[in-house]
């Protein structure tokens, strides 16, 4: 008898999104359908999506994943922040698969090994594998992938603690080398400003999104130290932007933006959400 698959159980199903498979599928499909048909004139290399509970960020995330419908990748790299106090700069799952109510998604161990070699060569360290992590920002994207993509694909999960330009640029280049020559897709998971009044949040997020649309990962990382913007997943996003550029992307487009206040009605302390796509235009 074959050994049982080592699957990471979901710590957030039933809290951050519905635990019932039918309700989850229906809600994700509604978010994607509400975004409508998104026409990108070029080859999509990567998307950016928010990672709050689906009730809050789902309407924005729907735009990122609506853009992916019809694509058939064999490998999807999901790069997110690590919000918890692990000491390692870069982390990944030690499990063989991720579980959501919609089923299991296998981790591509060969791709992880290839990424590890690239990181060791450039940084002198690689990915710290962890089990039973509580991180929501990577998992929250998975039900959207499960509903938007119809191909058989595997995951390359990466969680970022070190948001320095040195580490995130090296991660981006290593991801590009790992994905090169494969039918692959990158997903960057990030939210934007946290707990400012709505008008302040829109100004801060507007500056960050300008740096996204000008395809400036270095400028994106500088925004917080300049006091001009904030994104909890800025390291993950910058790495994906550098990887996308290495893979040929030359355009970025913000597809949608909103805040938690647009859902809750409380405009005194909001969190910003945005969806974007990075693509190669000939």
Cα–Cα dist 62/92, whole Å: 25
Q: What is the mean pLDDT of each successive set of 10 residues along the chain, which is 282 residues long?
A: 84 97 98 96 97 97 97 98 95 98 98 98 98 97 97 97 98 98 98 96 97 97 93 97 98 98 96 98 85
pLDDT score for 34: 98
Domain coordinates in residue numbering, the chain: 25-261+273-280
pLDDT score for 282: 77
| 198-203 contacts, C-beta under 8 A, 24 or more apart | 198/259, 198/261, 198/267, 198/268, 198/270, 201/259, 201/261, 201/270, 201/271, 201/272, 202/259, 202/272
Where does 25-261+273-280 sit in CATH, by number?
Answer: 3.40.830.10
């Amino acid at each position: 008898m074959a050994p049982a698959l080592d699957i990471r159980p979901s710590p957030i199903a039933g809290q951050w999104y519905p635990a019932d498979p039918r309700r989850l599928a229906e809600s994700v499909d509604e978010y994607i359908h509400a975004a409508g048909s998104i026409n990108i004139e070029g080859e999509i290399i990567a998307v950016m999506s928010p990672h709050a509970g689906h009730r809050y960020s789902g309407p924005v995330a729907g735009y990122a994943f609506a853009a992916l419908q019809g694509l058939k990748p064999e490998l999807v790299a999901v790069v997110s922040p690590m919000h918890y106090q692990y000491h390692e700069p870069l982390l990944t799952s030690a499990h063989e698969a991720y579980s959501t109510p919609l089923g299991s998604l296998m981790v591509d161990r060969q791709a992880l090994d290839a990424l590890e070699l690239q990181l060791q060569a450039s940084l002198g360290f690689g990915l710290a594998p962890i089990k039973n992590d509580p991180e929501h920002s990577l998992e929250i994207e998975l039900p959207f992938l499960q509903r938007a993509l119809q191909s058989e694909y595997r995951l390359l999960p990466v969680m970022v603690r070190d948001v320095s330009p040195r580490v995130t640029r090296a991660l981006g280049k290593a991801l590009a080398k790992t994905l090169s020559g494969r039918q692959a897709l990158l997903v960057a998971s990030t939210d934007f400003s946290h707990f400012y009044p709505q008008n302040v949040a829109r100004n801060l997020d507007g500056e960050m999104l300008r740096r996204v649309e000008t395809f400036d990962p270095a400028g994106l990382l500088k925004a917080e130290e300049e006091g001009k913007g904030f994104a909890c997943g800025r390291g993950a996003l910058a790495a994906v932007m550098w990887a996308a550029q290495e893979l040929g992307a030359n355009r970025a487009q913000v597809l949608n933006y909103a805040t938690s206040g647009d859902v809750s009605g409380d405009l005194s302390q909001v969190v910003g959400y945005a969806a974007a796509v990075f693509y190669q235009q000939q």
